[in-house]
Each structure stands twice: as structure tokens, then as C-alpha cells.
């Protein structure tokens, strides 16, 4: 099926409050343009350099989401245009985003990545560390970053009950944070294999790659 058909199929099943991030990492510009011409404006990449190059080549009304692990020394390359950084998991990174955002006179929206999977390869903070960060002085002093929600990745497994449990953990963490941070609005969870379950568990933003663009090499 074509990229356009894949997009239409997915979008026809999504509730209105759920944003679809089309994950275009490793894919050529022609694929991104096919999605763009089908109306897609929100794209996700996991490498800053690749995202920066695509940003230069794509129409300027695309919203670019950085969904991967962020190296501090590369924040400067995306600070002028990135729309949302999903994977913030430490204060030093947040500080650097703040500094670079300031240079461009912007406030950059970020999500706190929470470690919900039991695999130890995944990045992210514990719920209690995230809570401390959110109420910390260093974060309060970051005037040019705005944490607007949470992001998480479930364990890579066929065990739906386990994945569901992890999604619910993230949803509960979001609810807890929201008590003190009423501007929280985004729960980024769910990928090609599990986005329906994620939506059932409260996701408001899904990051879908292979179901739109086909398998990656
Ligand atoms: C690649 C990636 C996705 C999309 O994965 P698919 O299984 O292709 O939908 C989602 N989130 C993150 C963080 C990714 O790196």
C-alpha cells in the first residue's frame, strides 16, 4: 500500500485528541513529501543531523519532533526550529536546551522521558527523579524551556499485558505531575506495533514509522 493509504488508514482510526507523529527516520525525502502531500505536517526523527538536513529541504510548515536520545552538544543545530523534544531525561540537557533556545529567542517545548520498560537499554528517568526535576530550582530558572508532558517506550515484547501495565504507569505518572503542573498536556506513547493499546491507555501522541513508511533497513 502507498504511504498516502497507510496514513489514511491510521488517521481514520484515531480519536480527535490524538496527534500522529510520522516517524520518517532513515527514509528519503521523496517518502516524506508523499506524506506531506497527503496532508501530514508532523514528522519525527531520532537523529539531530538527519532532522536538520530534512528541515532544510522540506516545506517550512512542517513541525519537527526530536524523538530520539539527544546529545547535549548537538542541541544547537535544532534549536532554531524544533517543535517538540520528546526525550529529555536530565537537567543538564534541559539547561543546554534552555541556553540554545534563549539564543533564538524561543521557548522550546519538551517532554520528560520516563523509563517504563524493564529492559535496561532504554533511556529515561524514574517517576520520582522526574518529580524532583520538575520541582527543582534549576528547572524553575529555565525560562526558555517548557515541559508539557511525558514520553515513554514500552518493553519490546509480544506480552500485551506487560506493555499495557507500562503504558498505565506512564499515564499515572502524567496524572501525578499534572497536579502540580496544570499545563501538562501531552502523553507521547505508542508506536506501530502498540499504538492502539497506547491510545486505550491514555496516549495523546503516537509515534508511528513503519506502519506508514514501511520497514526500515
Ligand atoms: C523509530 C521510533 C518510533 C517508530 O517506530 P515504528 O515501530 O517504526 O513505528 C517511535 N518512537 C521512537 C522513539 C523511535 O525511535
Q: Where are the domains of the chain?
A: 3-213
DSSP characters over 6-29 = HHHHHHHHS-TT-EEEEE-TT--H
**Nine-digit cell string for 104:** 533564538
Task: With cut-offs at 50, 70 and 90, classify the pLDDT of residue 172.
Answer: very high
**Nine-digit cell string for 206:** 503516537
Given a cut of 70, is residue 121 above it in pLDDT?
A: no
Pocket of ligand 1 (CB under 6 A): 23, 25, 46, 67-68, 153, 191-193, 207-211
Rounded distance between C-alpha atoms, residue 102 and residue 84, angstroms = 16
- Composition of the chain by helix, strand, coil, percent to 5: 45, 20, 40
pLDDT for the residue 63: 98
Q: How many CB atoms lie within 10 A of CB 153?
A: 26
Q: What is the mean pLDDT of residues 102-129?
A: 92
Which residues have CB under 8 Å from 202's CB, separation 6+?
167, 168, 171, 174, 187
Which of 38-52, 93-107, 122-136 has the lowest average pLDDT?
122-136
Please name the CATH architecture into which domain 3-213 falls. Alpha-Beta Barrel (3.20)
* Distance between Cα 128 and ligand 1 center (Å): 26
Given a cut of 90, is residue 122 above it in pLDDT?
A: no
Q: What is the mean pLDDT of residues 62-87?
A: 97
H-helix or E-strand spanning residue 65: strand 63-66
Which amino acid residue places its CA nearest to atom 11 of ligand 1? Answer: 207
pLDDT for the residue 217: 83
* Distance between Cα 176 and ligand 1 center (Å): 26
Which amino acid residue places its CA nearest to atom 7 of ligand 1? Answer: 192
* Distance between Cα 208 and ligand 1 center (Å): 6
Q: Please choose from 21, 47, 67, 196 the residue to mutate so as to test ligand 1's pocket, defined by most ligand atoms within 8 A of CB.
A: 67
Amino acid at each position: 500500500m502507498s504511504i498516502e493509504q497507510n496514513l489514511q488508514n491510521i488517521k481514520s482510526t484515531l480519536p480527535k485528541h490524538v496527534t500522529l507523529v510520522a516517524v520518517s527516520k532513515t527514509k528519503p525525502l521523496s517518502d516524506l513529501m508523499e506524506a506531506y502531500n497527503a496532508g501530514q505536517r508532523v514528522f519525527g526523527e531520532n537523529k539531530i543531523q538527519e532532522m536538520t538536513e530534512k528541515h532544510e529541504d522540506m516545506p517550512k510548515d512542517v513541525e519537527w519532533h526530536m524523538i530520539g536520545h539527544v546529545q547535549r552538544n548537538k542541541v544547537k543545530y535544532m534549536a532554531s526550529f524544533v517543535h517538540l523534544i520528546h526525550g529529555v531525561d536530565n537537567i543538564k540537557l534541559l539547561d543546554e536546551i534552555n541556553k540554545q533556545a534563549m539564543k533564538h529567542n524561543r521557548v522550546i517545548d519538551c517532554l520528560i522521558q520516563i523509563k517504563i520498560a524493564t529492559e535496561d537499554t532504554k533511556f529515561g528517568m524514574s517517576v520520582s527523579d522526574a518529580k524532583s526535576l520538575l520541582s527543582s530550582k534549576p528547572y524553575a530558572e529555565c525560562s526558555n524551556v517548557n515541559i508539557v508532558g511525558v514520553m515513554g517506550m514500552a518493553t519490546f515484547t509480544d506480552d500485551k499485558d506487560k506493555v499495557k501495565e507500562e503504558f498505565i504507569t506512564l499515564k499515572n505518572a502524567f496524572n501525578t505531575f499534572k497536579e502540580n503542573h496544570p499545563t501538562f498536556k501531552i502523553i507521547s506513547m505508542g508506536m506501530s506495533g502498540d499504538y492502539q493499546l497506547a491510545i486505550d491507555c491514555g496516549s495523546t501522541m503516537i509515534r508511528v514509522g513503519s506502519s506508514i513508511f514501511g520497514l526500515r533497513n
